[in-house]
C-alpha cells in the first residue's frame, strides 16, 4: 500500500489548481507574512549584531589604549579636527556624541544608513557614552567606587 502511495504524486502534494480561491489567498497571505517576518528578523539581527560588534570594538580599543599607553604618548600630532574636538569642554563633547547618536538612529529608522553599519557606529557611540557616564560618576564619588 505504501508503494502505491508514492507512485501517485497527487496524493502527496496538493495540486494548486484544485485549491479554492480563498484557500489560495490564505496560503499566499501566510507565505507573505512569513517572508516579511524573516526580513524584519534579518534587519534586527543585522542591527543588533552591529551594535554588539561596535561595543566590543570600543572595549577592545580602550584595552589596547591602556596596554600601549606608554608607547603611544609621543607618536605624531593629532589632526586639526581631533585637536578642536579635544579642546571642547566635556559638556559640549557629551552633547555632540548624543546628537550623533540621535542622528544615526534617525538615519537607520529611515533606511538611509545600512542597518549593520549604523548599528556598528551606534554601538561604538553607545560604548563611548557609557564609558563617559561611568567615568563621570567615578569622579564625583570615588569613595563609593573604591568600596565596591
Angle of helix 115-140 relative to helix 90-109, nearest 10 degrees, comes to 150
Q: What is the residue extent of each domain of the chain?
A: 17-76, 88-147
* Residue 12: band (very low, low, confident or very high) from pLDDT cuts 50, 70, 90: very low
102: closest CA among 123, 122, 80, 77?
Answer: 122
pLDDT in tens, 91-138: 888 888 888 888 888 888 888 888 888 888 888 888 888 888 888 888
Say what the pTM is: 0.60
Cell 529608522, residue located: 109
Q: pLDDT > 70: what percent of the chain?
A: 76
Amino acid at each position: 500500500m505504501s508503494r502505491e502511495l508514492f507512485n501517485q504524486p497527487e496524493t502527496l502534494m496538493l495540486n494548486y489548481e484544485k485549491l479554492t480561491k480563498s484557500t489560495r489567498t490564505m496560503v499566499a497571505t501566510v507565505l507573505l507574512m512569513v517572508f516579511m517576518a524573516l526580513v524584519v528578523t534579518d534587519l534586527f539581527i543585522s542591527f543588533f549584531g552591529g551594535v554588539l560588534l561596535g561595543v566590543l570594538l570600543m572595549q577592545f580599543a580602550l584595552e589596547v589604549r591602556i596596554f600601549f599607553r606608554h608607547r603611544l604618548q609621543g607618536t605624531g600630532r593629532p589632526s586639526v579636527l581631533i585637536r578642536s574636538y579635544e579642546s571642547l569642554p566635556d559638556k559640549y563633547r557629551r552633547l555632540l556624541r548624543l546628537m550623533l547618536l540621535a542622528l544615526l538612529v534617525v538615519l537607520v529608522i529611515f533606511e538611509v544608513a545600512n542597518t549593520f553599519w549604523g548599528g556598528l557606529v551606534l554601538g561604538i557611540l553607545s560604548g563611548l557614552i557609557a564609558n563617559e557616564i561611568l567615568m563621570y560618576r567615578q569622579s564625583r564619588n570615588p569613595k563609593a567606587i573604591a568600596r565596591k
